[in-house]
Amino acid sequence: MDAGGKTRGRDDEGRSSAPDGCTSLVGFGRSLRAHGLPIGTNRILTFCRSAAALAPLDRDRLYWAGRSSLIAHPDHVETYDRVFDDYFGRGRIKEVLTEMFSGISSPAAPEVLTQVAPLSSGDDSSETDEADASEIEVLRLIASEAEVLRTKSFDRLTVEERVLTDRLIRKLALTLPVRRSRRADRAPKGGRFDLRRTLRSSMRTQAEPLKREWLTRREVARPLVLILDVSGSMAPFTRALMHLAFAAMSPKASRVGTRRHRVEVFCFGTHLTRVTRAMRSGDPDRALAEVARLVRDWEGGTRIGESLKTLLDQYSQAAGMKGAVVVLCSDGLERGDPILLAAQMARLHRIAHDLIWVNPLKATTGYEPLARGMASALPHVDRFLPGHNLKSLEELSRALAVRS
């Protein structure tokens, strides 16, 4: 691999090189070494594992995956930023992200991943081509393991996988919904031509309009309302959805410019419970423990219609439901009156800007929404999405990011 991170194709002994994305990540780590940073092989492997787990990547995700994995001292951040900008230039970043781990298909065997630990962190100049090939092969296996984890259903995770998945969900780069206001702000270019400000600025240049001024419509945060089913039938998926709600409540996700998003979280089984304040805790374990204390019907029955009626009667204004994006996470196995559910879904659909139903059962082969609860609710749903694994939650995140 050259300094630009290009792949070798096949070497003289006929060995296949890694996919372009893997090779580029290794090359970036070595470029940091070349600029004097103490980047060992283990740190590069951690970087690649992070990048694979956070896929699909964008520039910001790749930047933070590298910074958190490769940089151990604040004094190294300036060098890291400079090398990152040079290595992943504007034209190259799209190529790397597009081809990231494109050649990976088979799952990694756990016994093979134990090869990661003894890998040396020697200086780049002493590494041989054979060591490079071995390192890249391990990266292929790590990326494959991460891809398997992204597509594995939450109800089939081991305890160790569940802990890792919870952490990855909390780190999802959520972009919460916004709308374009009628009001306009100044823009550096593009958008709508601002004749008034252009003429005003020309007074400073003897009435010569040397610089054009532009306007763009201001983005305003839409309220987000999460309604989570915590009944017994949803037990394998509840924890993951609670961590998603925690991620949505984080300051990084819930900010548009200098303004904060309004995010409300409700849980229901047979009764509705507002848990927004509990979810504001900075510690996820403490937040989930407080939610479990507040919700009296955890892993009980399911009465969606009655819970939605309580939501609309008691919290419609307080929770900012009008014009909000509402995400209802449930398997739709209603034990109450389906006619009541249909009526409350119709009410909710009328006041919400977008009503998204997330149902883990949707991913089941041959699934059809024939349960009486789901069949009653579906005509009033704008988007019907699965929510059974990490990849499906990434799909939900992209759905939330749609501007209107």
Give backbone dihedrals phi and psi of 179, rounded to 5 degrees, phi first: -130, 160
Q: What structural domains and CATH numbers belong to the chain?
A: 20-151 (no CATH), 181-220 (no CATH), 222-400 (3.40.50.410)
pLDDT in tens, 333-360: 998 899 999 999 999 999 999 999 999 9
**Which one of 137-141, 181-185, 197-201, 270-274 scores highest in mean pLDDT?**
270-274
Contact yes or no for 372/334 (Cβ under 8 A): yes
Mean pLDDT on 92-118: 43
pLDDT computed for residue 10 by the predictor: 38
Q: Which residue has the higher pLDDT, 18 or 49?
A: 49
Q: Could you tell me which residues are beta bridge partners of residue 358?
A: 329, 385
Longest Cα separation, the chain: 76
- The full DSSP string for 4-25 is T----SB-TT-PBPPPHHHHHH
Give backbone dihedrals phi and psi of 80, rounded to 5 degrees, phi first: -60, -45
pLDDT computed for residue 148 by the predictor: 79
pLDDT computed for residue 55 by the predictor: 62
From 229, 239, 235, 237, select the one nearest 335 (Cα to Cα).
229
Q: Is the model's pLDDT at 377 over the cut of 90?
A: yes
Q: Could you tell me which residues are beta bridge partners of residue 255?
A: 260
pLDDT in tens, 152-167: 999 999 888 888 888 8
Distance CA 19, CA 9 (A): 9
Q: Is the model's pLDDT at 185 over the cut of 90?
A: no
pLDDT computed for residue 123 by the predictor: 43
Q: Is the model's pLDDT at 113 over the cut of 70?
A: no
Q: Is the model's pLDDT at 182 over the cut of 50?
A: yes
pLDDT computed for residue 96 by the predictor: 60
Local confidence band at 131 (pLDDT 50, 70, 90 cut-offs):
very low
Single-letter amino acid code for the residue at 106? S
Q: Kindly state the tokens that stand for 159.
A: 């305890």
Q: Is the model's pLDDT at 3 over the cut of 80?
A: no
Local confidence band at 207 (pLDDT 50, 70, 90 cut-offs):
confident
Q: Is the model's pLDDT at 134 over the cut of 70?
A: no
pLDDT computed for residue 130 by the predictor: 47
**Which one of 82-91, 99-108, 176-185, 318-327 scores highest in mean pLDDT?**
318-327
Query: C-alpha 300: how far from its chain's center?
Result: 30
Mean pLDDT on 34-40: 89
Cis-peptide into 209, omega within 30 deg: no
Q: Is the model's pLDDT at 102 over the cut of 70?
A: no
Local confidence band at 303 (pLDDT 50, 70, 90 cut-offs):
very high
Q: What percent of the chain has pLDDT over 90?
A: 30
Q: Is the model's pLDDT at 198 over the cut of 80?
A: no
Local confidence band at 13 (pLDDT 50, 70, 90 cut-offs):
very low
pLDDT computed for residue 7 by the predictor: 36
* From 42-51, 181-190, 252-261, 346-355, the region with the lowest mean pLDDT: 252-261
Q: Is the model's pLDDT at 280 over the cut of 60?
A: yes
Single-letter amino acid code for the residue at 324? A
Residue 17, number of CB atoms within 10 A of its CB: 20
Q: Is the model's pLDDT at 91 over the cut of 60?
A: no
Question: What is the average pLDDT value for the chain, to the nearest integer?
Answer: 77
pLDDT in tens, 314-340: 998 877 889 899 999 999 999 889 999
C-alpha distance from residue 229 to each of 131, 241, 273, 307, 355 (Å): 50, 9, 11, 10, 15
pLDDT computed for residue 197 by the predictor: 78
* From 113-117, 168-172, 224-228, 248-252, the region with the lowest mean pLDDT: 113-117
Local confidence band at 142 (pLDDT 50, 70, 90 cut-offs):
low
Helix (H, G, I), strand (E, B) or coil at 180: strand
Q: Is the model's pLDDT at 139 over the cut of 80?
A: no
Counting DSSP H helices and E strands in the chain, the numbers are 16, 11
Contact yes or no for 52/147 (Cβ under 8 A): yes
- What long-range pairs does 162-167 form, CB within 8 A, spacing at least 24? 162/239, 164/53, 165/240, 165/390, 166/239, 166/240, 166/243, 166/284
Mean pLDDT on 135-142: 55
